Amino acid sequence: MPETLSIASPSAVVESALIPRNTARVAISVLLTVLDSWAVVAFGGTLYRVSAHHTIWLIGIALLVVSLLGSLTRTWYLALTVRPR
């Protein structure tokens, strides 16, 4: 009778492969969050002053900030969820 591999063997290999991937995802998420925070702090006040009396510009900048936060949320969601392939 041929030997069969146990079911636990492949899952242990997959789980050990996920650890470096998740570490990299969290590191990239931290880096993106720091860079995005720096950009908002550095340029947020200037953009607000420039667009203060222009409603369309203000709406555009608000949409940019919302999309930035949405992309950061998606990045952190992907970094913190563990999904084997």
Give the model confidence (pLDDT) of 74-85 as tens digits: 999 988 887 665
CA distance 59 to 51: 9
**Domain of 76, in residue numbers:** 55-85
pTM above 0.85, yes or no: no
**Residue 40, domain member (yes or no):** no
**How many domains is the chain built from?**
1
Is 20 within a domain?
Answer: no
Residue 30 belongs to a domain:
no
pLDDT tens track for 30-77: 999 999 999 999 998 998 898 889 999 999 999 999 999 999 999 999
Is 37 part of any domain? no
The verdict on residue 43 lying in a domain is: no
